[in-house]
Amino acid sequence: MKPNTVLTALLLIIASSLYAAEGTDSSGQPGSHRSASPDGASVGFSNIADGDVLPTVFTVRFAVSGMGIAPAGVEIDNTGHHHLLIDVAEMPDFNQPLPATDKIRHFGKGQTETEVQLVEGQHTLQVLFADYRHIPHEPPVMSEIITVEVSADAPAQADSESD
């Protein structure tokens, strides 16, 4: 082999090793790098609160402070999108993309409100912000868990926001 060919091959090997290591943690596991969140960032609900009695179909409005909203797939520092956790008893692995399930709903287009339909009874709700890959930030930006009562007898939701 010519010296230039050997040097080129060596550079390609080094470059591919660096590329493969990007986005891994110290154990080499892919996808475990989490985007940083700024100090004081928070998310929550702007129109419902802990203890509310809600109809079986209701609107949830998300609030975010200290960060911006960007759709999934768009990498911009200090941004993310909302995920609504419904009756989640055990948190998923925050080093991996959040799964999309009936209990973990994604708002990857940057939506700030949604209509929710739940069966009657008590339910827990929580907002979790995640980056462009659906991976929660470090530290996580998430609301407190609120508990709501869903009742077919509850009056229709007013169109005003909670304080």
For residue 97, the 8-state DSSP code is P
> Where are the domains positioned within the chain?
1-33, 42-150
**Alpha-carbon span 93 to 112, nearest angstrom:** 24
**Alpha-carbon span 35 to 76, nearest angstrom:** 10
Cα radius of gyration rounded to whole Å, the chain: 21
Pick the CATH number of 42-150 from 2.60.40.10, 1.10.8.60, 3.40.1360.10, 3.40.640.10: 2.60.40.10
Determine the average pLDDT of the residues in 83-107: 97
**What pLDDT is recorded for position 2?**
54
Give residue 158's pLDDT band: very low, low, confident or very high (50, 70, 90). confident
**What pLDDT is recorded for position 138?**
97
Determine the average pLDDT of the residues in 15-44: 62
Q: Which pair of structure tokens corresponds to residue 65? A: 């402070």
**What pLDDT is recorded for position 162?**
47
**What pLDDT is recorded for position 157?**
87
| pTM for this predicted structure | 0.79
